[in-house]
Amino acid sequence: MPSDIIAAGYAVSYTHTRQAHHPRPRPRLGRLLLIALTLAFLGVFLVLPLLAVFVQAFAKGVSAYLGAISDPMAWAAIKLTLWVAATAVPLNLVFGIAAAWAIAKFEFRGKNTLITLIDLPFAVSPVIAGLIFILIFGANGWFGGYLRAHHIRVVFALPGIVLATLFVTLPFIARELIPVMQAQGKDDEETALSLGASGWQTFWHITLPNIRWALLYGVLLCNARAMGEFGAVSVVSGHIRGLTNTMPLHVEILYNEYNHTAAFAVASLLAMLAMLTLAAKSFLESRQPQLRHAVSQPRDRTRRQQT
Amino acid sequence: MIPAPAAATELKLHKPGRILPGFGLTLGYTMVYLSLLVLIPLSAVIIRSLGLGWSHFWETVTAPRVIASLRLSFGASLIAALLNAVFGLMVAWVLTRYTFPFRRFIDAIVDLPFALPTAVAGIALTALYAPNGWLGIWLKPLGINVAFTPLGVVVALTFIGLPFVVRTLQPVLEDLDQEVEQAAATLGASAVQVFLRVALPALWPAILTGFALAFARALGEYGSVIFIAGNMPMKSEIAPLLIVSKLEQYDYAGATAIAVVMLVLSFALMFGINALQNWAASRHQGR
């Protein structure tokens, strides 16, 4: 291995020359240049769009901004978005805990396949996530006739929006909990059980406190996506103003009507949600460092095998 | 039951005690929930497309407008993922190796594309890169039009994909043994040589994984693209948008056919990424 040779050479020079003790000064100029380049890139590429949202939102003054976000249609959109998130997040939370319990605490065949299947929604375009529910519940879908006969609306109504949101946010909480629960093993739980605790007591008093940061982390990310989802919801919502318009969809409608100030005003609320999410995420990572980097990757095998 | 042999070894390994409860309940719930929400709905696309008949399917998928949209989706995603690999490596390197003011803040901001709703990103990028926008006004004299062209699609997809490469690389960079690099430096290697000959070879699997993740995300992306793309058929219309417009015309068969093509490609990519990560993990352990 070349690295072994280099390491051996390093050991030799380390003992024989003083210079080796202080490796020659790293080129400061290059380092400064790289830092400057990175800051400039992130500034132009990430910070500037965020800034643009707020500048555009306040382009016509504070009263226009306040007027735009207190518009009844905007309020209806905000309320709907909160409702959808308040339904989807708890359901996926229960699923996440159940899935993590089964996967982390027990051995069974097909476990890796199950983990891959849980991640499946991440591989699917949001547009297709909406399409599948139209194919099932839409007018000429599998259950279309039945639903029409019984006057039940799924697609182009609240249930469809919730279903599409559930689909796209399904993996978030499970994937945060699985590695944390796997790392913690099951000794604590087995001790509690052997001391006479019931299954529920063990879960509430032992498991839940152990996973609380990962749980919050997953809920945070799940909520951000649930409130911000656009593609999937757009396909199933039908864009009925005041009824099936979530905040991101309302932003689109206002924007397409060239009502840019109002569009950016509602968008600024979502941007604030994003900034809050990032701040809370940073805080949780400082509480539990192993949560870091977990956000955007399917599953970090490298790290899991180390622990 | 499948878990019986595992349970037996468990009992032998641990002190006498009861096995944890809830396996049947949690696994059962997981399977039912996953099937109802993901597996059965996804199979609907496949089953529906089987009903199309091969010739109809092929005709739909090879229509010039569909081919053009798939080509744009692929080409733009590929370029965006390449840009992400380059810039993501730079950002990850600087964030893990150097200390500078506000580093923690900047580290947090890298996840912005992940936290910002895609529609918001879409209108913000359009406002910036439109001919009269903050950036567009500078690019226009250079003859570069970003908004409402395929270039706009690339910009939006690069924005969306950046965190994937950075977040995949950071843990690997942190684990990298810096002594080897210092050793190379003491032996007279220049900073560039150290990077190219020592650091980069160890980073390749992570770069490739991040690239593939960014590519996969870009392929299906919709919200951030449709505002900046202009959505001209044959020119700047991405495949997910074509699915939506077919749905709006009640052409369910056409939408399903394109969806199947995209699903197959996405799943192939996902298996590729899984294989990549296993390979990276085994390499990691082998060191």
* DSSP codes of every residue in A66-84: HHHHTSHHHHHHHHHHHHH
Residue B8 has pLDDT above 80, yes or no: no
Q: Which residues of B touch A135 (CB under 8 A)?
A: 41, 44-45, 48, 252, 256
Summarised one tens digit per residue, pLDDT across range A207-256 is 999 999 999 999 999 999 999 999 999 999 988 877 889 999 999 999 99
Residue (of B215, B222, B214, B120) closest to A296 by Cα position = B214
Q: Are residues A145 and A294 both part of a single domain? A: yes
Q: What is the pLDDT of residue A27?
A: 61
More confident residue, A66 or B287: A66
For residue B4, pLDDT beyond 90: no
pLDDT of B237 above 50: yes
- What is residue B284's predicted lDDT score, i.e. its pLDDT? 63
Indicate yes or no: CB of B168 within 8 angstroms of CB of A128. no
Q: Which of residues 242-261 of B touch A (CB under 8 A)?
A: 243-244, 247, 252, 255-256, 259
Same domain (yes/no): A32, A66: no
Give the model confidence (pLDDT) of B112-168 as tens digits. Answer: 999 999 999 999 999 999 999 999 999 989 989 998 999 999 999 999 999 999 999
Tell if the CB–CB gap between A123 and B267 is shorter than 8 Å. Answer: yes
What is the ipTM, given to two decimal places?
0.88
Cβ neighbours of B108 in A, within 8 Å: 278-279, 281-282
- Total domain count for chain B? 1
- Predicted local confidence at residue A133, as pLDDT: 95
The residue range of the domain holding B272 is: 53-286
Q: What angle do CA A73, A65, A60 make, to 5 degrees?
A: 125
User: Residue B69 domain-assigned?
Assistant: yes
Any idea which residue has 């709703």 for tokens? Answer: B117
Instruction: Say whether both A191 and A212 belong to one domain.
Output: yes
Of A125, A255, A281, the CB nearest to B240: A125
Inter-residue contact A46 to B112 (CB < 8 Å): yes
Task: For chain B, give the percent of residues with pLDDT over 70.
Answer: 92
3-state class of B149 per DSSP? coil
- Domain presence at residue B42: no
**Is residue B175 scored above 90 in pLDDT?**
no
**C-alpha closest to that of A70 among A265, A250, A268:** A265
Residue among A199, A67, A296 nearest B167 (CA): A296
**Do residue A149 and residue A122 come from a single domain?**
yes
Residue B16: inside a domain, yes or no? Answer: no
Separation of alpha carbons B59 and B52, rounded Å? 10
Alpha carbon separation from A102 to A105, A110, B16, B24, B82 (Å, rounded): 6, 12, 21, 8, 38
**Rounded to two decimals, what is the model's pTM?**
0.88
Alpha helices by DSSP H, A106-170: 111-123, 126-137, 144-149, 158-169
CB A153 within 8 A of CB A162: no
Q: Are residues A53 and A71 in the same domain?
A: no
Chain B: closest CA distance from residue A115 (Å): 11
Q: Name the burial class of residue A137, with classes exposed (0-12), middle (13-18) and buried (19+) by CB atoms within 10 angstroms of its CB.
A: buried
Query: Is residue B256 situated within a structural domain?
Result: yes
Q: Is residue B20 part of a domain?
A: no
> In terms of domains, do A203 and A184 share one?
yes
pLDDT, residue B11, reads 45
A155 plus A170 within the same structural domain = yes
Number of domains forming the structure of chain A = 2
Same domain, A49 and A28: yes
Pair (A275, A220) in one structural domain: yes
What's the CA gap between A303 and B167, in Å, rounded?
13
Q: Report yes or no on B177 lying in a domain.
A: yes
Same domain? A53 vs A66: no
pLDDT at B190 over 60: yes
Token pair of A256, please?
């397409």
In this prediction, residue B50 carries a pLDDT of: 87
Residues A42 and A25 in one domain: yes
User: 232-261 in A: which are within 8 Å (CB) of B?
Assistant: 234-235, 247-249, 251-252, 255, 260
Q: Can you list the pairs that B16-20 forms with residues at least 24 positions away whose Cβ atoms lie under 8 Å?
A: B16/A194, B17/A190, B17/A191, B17/A193, B17/A194, B18/A190, B18/A193, B18/A194, B20/A105, B20/A106, B20/A186, B20/A189, B20/A190, B20/A193, B20/A199, B20/A202
The whole-chain average pLDDT of chain B stands at 88
Place of tokens 């490596």: B89
Residue B174 lies in a domain: yes
| Domain harbouring A269, CATH code | 1.10.3720.10
Residues of chain A predicted below pLDDT 50: 1-22, 295-307
**Is A199 within 8 Å of B20 when comparing Cβ atoms?**
yes
In this structure, is residue B94 part of a structural domain? yes
Distance between terminal CA atoms of chain B? 39
Option in B3, B30, B120 nearest A98 (CB): B30
Chain A residues within an 8 Å CB radius of B133: 52
CATH number, domain at B84?
A: 1.10.3720.10
Model confidence pLDDT, tens digit, residues B63-80? 999 999 999 999 999 999
Range of the structural domain that residue A161 is part of: 62-306
What lies within 8 Å, CB to CB, of B138 at 6+ separation is none
